[in-house]
Amino acid sequence: MNGDWLIRGRDGRLCAYAYAPGNDAIVCRTELAPGGPWSPPRTVGGDQRLHPPLALDQGGDTYVHLVSWRPTVPGESGLVHSTHFQSHLAALDWTPIGHPNKKGDRTGPPAVAVDAQGRAHVFVRNKGGGVSMRAQLEKGGWGPWRDLKGTDVRGELAAVAGESGLITLFAATADGLLRWRQEKPGETPVRDEKPRPATVRPGTLSALSTSAEHATLFFTDDDGALCAWRGDEDPVRFLDAAGPGPVAAVRCRLDDVDCTLLAQRAHSGRVAFAAYPTELESAGAWWAESGPALPPDARVALAEDANGRVVAASCVPGDPDRMHLTRRKDEAGLALEAWRQVL
């Protein structure tokens, strides 16, 4: 997954996205009422065969945009896009949006971010090792593929829309970090002049809008430290990573303080949580583990429910029936309810 796979819809109901058994389709499960039981998995976007991974993002209008690769002819693939307007209704059928090099096989995991006008921006590595982008037009349809340049881009991308609706994209190379930013709505994001030296463990990038001015990139370096980077200074190493994968991150209020809450599958297999005042990594953070041990490929997501309570969920790729969930208790601190399987 690239993006938060646990989403709160306009009506306050949570919706979770996952690959179906066999990993050739996307399914979703939705609360039948806020805080209530969940629906069985149902297919998203029709019956087209898909390739992992899935990228998704939710705009300010609460619409969810999904992007994935699909096979076209033998040895080649193309990207497809769907919009899910309301989680309890059917999503639009998958629509082809092409290939950054016109044709060929998959070039890398896609990423998607939605701007303040509700337009999806799709990013993907191209055959040249840089990044290409295609964005929806204001009056419908899609603009052309644009080469954003960059070299030696590796692994996944992390894209996020800030509070202003302007989009920031992050990518890792063998020895550094790259960042692209929109300067005005609808404009093509511009890459920083120089990469930022850093060592990045593959598969650990995640991004979060943390203020009106900044998006924060989280990643694990080669020494196992969790780092935060906002582009203007060097990355800050502020906590040992709890486990090998990416962190899930959400902004929430804990004891009336604007905090960033992180969650990660720990080396023990359990879910580890850490929180600190947003953008104040110097304040320190500590992991606290919760719940049962999860399989090595389990993913963790964070969201807020209709009542503003933090919700954490875990899911095993290709097995949407094995989803577990917990909520923050209605008390001070970060006390959580017992984890329960979503039936």
CB neighbours of 51 closer than 8 A, spacing ≥ 6? 23, 24, 68, 69, 70, 71, 77, 106
Residue 1 has what pLDDT?
Answer: 64
Residue 343 has what pLDDT?
Answer: 81
What torsion, rounded to 10 degrees, do the Cα atoms 99, 104, 107, 112 define? 20
Phi-psi region of 24 (alpha: psi -120 to 50; beta: other; left: phi over 0): alpha
By three-state DSSP, how is residue 248 classified?
strand
Strand partners, 45: none
Q: What does the angle CA 77 – CA 80 – CA 84 come to, to the nearest 5 degrees?
A: 155
Query: b/e string for 27-37 if b means 16 or more Cβ within 10 A?
Result: bbbbbeeeeee
**Do the Cβ atoms of 314 and 323 come closer than 8 Å?**
yes
At 178-210, the pLDDT tens digits run 999 999 998 999 999 899 999 999 999 999 999
The candidate with the shortest Cα–Cα distance to 71, out of 56, 98, 51, 99, is 51
CA 238 to chain centre: 21
Query: b/e string for 43-73 if b means 16 or more Cβ within 10 A?
Result: ebbeebebbebbbbbbbeebbbbbbbbbbee
Length in residues, the chain: 343
> What distances in angstroms separate CA 247 from CA 39, 84, 105, 106, one per listed residue?
27, 25, 29, 25
**Do the Cβ atoms of 90 and 145 come closer than 8 Å?**
no
The candidate with the shortest Cα–Cα distance to 262, out of 325, 217, 230, is 217
Residue 47 has what pLDDT?
Answer: 85
**Do the Cβ atoms of 10 and 304 come closer than 8 Å?**
no
CA torsion sign, 127 to 55 to 205 to 278?
A: positive
Q: Report DSSP state, residue 211.
A: S
Q: What is the mean pLDDT of the chain?
A: 94
Q: How far apart are CA 91 and CA 205, in angstroms?
A: 28
Q: Which residue positions in the chain have pLDDT lower than 50?
A: none
Name the amino acid, one letter, at 153: V
Residue reference for tokens 């583990």 = 289
